[in-house]
Amino acid sequence: MKKFFSLMAIVAIVSVSNCSRIPENNDPVIGIWSRMDVNEVDETSRESVRQEWIFNDVYLGRYHRYENNTLVVKTDFNWETNDGIYTINYPGTEMPSHTVTRKDHEAGEVLADTQDNILAFRE
Question: What is the per-residue pLDDT across 54-94, written as a single tens digit (0 to 9) for each?
Answer: 999 999 999 999 999 999 999 999 999 999 999 999 999 99
pTM of the model: 0.79
CB-based contact 12:97 (threshold 8 Å): no
- Which regions of the chain does DSSP assign to beta strands (E)? 31-40, 46-55, 60-67, 70-82, 85-89, 98-105, 108-112, 118-122
Please report the pLDDT score of residue 97 as a whole number: 96
CA-CA distance, 12 to 24, in Å (whole number)? 25
46 Cβ contact partners less than 8 Å away, ≥ 6 residues apart: 38, 39, 40
CB-based contact 63:77 (threshold 8 Å): yes
Question: What is the per-residue pLDDT across 7-49, written as a single tens digit (0 to 9) for each?
Answer: 666 766 666 565 566 677 889 999 999 999 998 878 888 899 9
CATH (residue range 29-122): 2.40.128
Closest C-alpha among 122, 75, 72, 71 to residue 97: 75
User: Which pLDDT band holds residue 52 (cuts at 50, 70, 90)?
Assistant: very high
Please report the pLDDT score of residue 39 as a whole number: 87
Please report the pLDDT score of residue 119 as a whole number: 95
